[in-house]
Structure 1
């Protein structure tokens, strides 16, 4: 799937929906893009400029990157098989909007535990300032006493480890890039144009290469294995039950997006407890090394001098 920034999918969904409305109203594709560009839509401006330079439309759409790569693939599939372009873009816009909302939900859910983790990361440095405020020679011990220097080095290493550990946990809890269920949505678009199942899957594979999202040689390998298995299961059900596969595939795509949203919320919920591990293993020991230990060493040094 294509990597995307948090606002990328929502912005693409809005533009694609406007495009679908114009197409449904009878505006041809090329003028529709020009109308959007005239309305100062940034993506449409880039697409029309690339097309004016001689770039094929799917590649011009994909050149914007992020979610626009998925739009380019869907556009190529629909135009290749003759599927209703406006209807196909409406479905894709809904998929992009759902994926963006799911990513927003996860980002909001992650904000509190991630913010708490960043705040707790300052705890060892606060301990240093607290020692100084209480009148202890904390800084002198940390830079002038052999044991203090050892505490400074170990505490700094633990702070760095805690930051990297926390960042990795937060990164793993974030939503996956791309649009869940996109493969099923693309196959549904191909089938809605009257293509057979075998040709639909071939057209989707070729569309990725035509849009420049991946090479034709590795197009099959680059499709997510789970998504491919889900589509195969839906197509097998369609064959055995003798029912159209298009609605089954779109229902499967909607379910994949719902599942991705729930999984993201669960990852965010688990993050709160997982962040306690670097806190206990790294941050609290760093607090002791940089805050408590220098104060004790300062007291011992003062007592030794007085004796």
Structure 2
């Protein structure tokens, strides 16, 4: 394999790569993020036998580079996550949101929860374990856990449900590890009981969304909007409103809100947890 050098990106190469990422994912990369491009794309260059990111960029400028473009976009997708990350939304879901929805949906006996930008799956698997642990009355319900991400590579990993020791140490209580995971070499694999509850799909938020994301009861869209322009945020929130039920619930990240973006959601707060209700 070719050794990839860590030479600094030229302005022309940065501008080209930033536009590519913007066009395909709507993720905005400011000039100050040059270091992020370099750290994320050096491994891509090595994997594809390029000697530098400059060589990688030259290849991207040529026709028929779609597969390479996808590798770059996948690499630039932020995949930071953990089990029960920022525990408060999960506590609210368990204590208030799900009990309310179970009462309202008693006749339908169906719930749909969507985890967007699911990364390697810890968020949606946390929800699945919560349902198994705390809501035995849902055993015969139609529980639809949808998990989506832009990166096909990370989705493939999420669907396998295999995590290293560091990943299971981040936020996952020991009793849940022992109950819902088993050893797989030096890794941990989530049990089929939990894994089978989740359906993973590739979704680009700025493109058409699949029909499976309709009549959703709870939407997790956490730490996603921060990467987009205000106009793109408005577009995404409008599409969420079209798909979330009138009595549903939207969770955003701790640094995100709907202010000056939409009047179709109202902010609510319980203790330390902020969430949004459709209007």
For the superposition of Structure 1 and Structure 2, which TM-score range results when normalised by the shorter chain? under 0.3
* TM-score, normalised with respect to structure 1: 0.21
- Higher RCO structure (Cα 8 Å, ≥6 apart): 1
Comparing both structures, which one devotes a greater share of its residues to helix?
1
> Who wins on radius of gyration, i.e. which is larger?
1
Higher strand share: 2
